[in-house]
Amino acid sequence: MTFGEHIQSADWKKEKHIPVIELPEVIEAGKPFLVTVSVGKEIPHPNTVEHHIKWIDVYFKPEGEKFLHQVAHFDFAAHAESVKGANEGAVLANPLATFSMTVKEPGTLVALELCNIHGVWESTAEIALA
């Protein structure tokens, strides 16, 4: 058994657990660009104490290379917990993160996310340079 055997994927327009990666249409080598990764873009993910996204990781695999490079990690720690009861808290983190990155060559972005009930989900986006 390997960890990879337990990573799930699907079309984000049909499955609420898939991380959606949004990139600019044109990316230039050596120039910063924004990446947004979210969960529940088309079908909202219930974000409650009982059922929530714990984290999103983003990796970059340069074309022709064997290994991934971790680019970012985002923890979502507030899930409306409260002494008043579950889902009564004053703050709720939403599983969306935007960050800037720079690449020198084309490759693939890989996003992983962990749902506390349904495990790890994955999606990818190709980066072609202008």
Query: Has residue 93 got a pLDDT over 80?
Result: yes
Structure-model confidence comparison of residues 115 and 1, the more confident one: 115
Which amino acids are annotated catalytic?
15-17, 45, 51, 115, 118
Query: Has residue 30 got a pLDDT over 90?
Result: yes
Query: Has residue 80 got a pLDDT over 70?
Result: yes
Query: Has residue 3 got a pLDDT over 90?
Result: no
Residue 5's φ and ψ, nearest 5 degrees, are -65, -15
Per-domain residue ranges of the chain: 3-127
Q: What CA–CA distances, in Å, run from 43 to 9, 39, 128?
A: 15, 9, 28
What is the fold, at CATH topology level, of the domain defined by 3-127?
Immunoglobulin-like (2.60.40)
**In which region does residue 88 sit, left (phi positive, over 0), alpha (psi from -120 to 50) or beta (all else)?**
alpha
At 55, is the pLDDT very low, low, confident or very high (cuts 50, 70, 90)?
A: very high
Instruction: Tell me what pLDDT residue 118 has.
Output: 93
Instruction: Tell me what pLDDT residue 12 has.
Output: 62
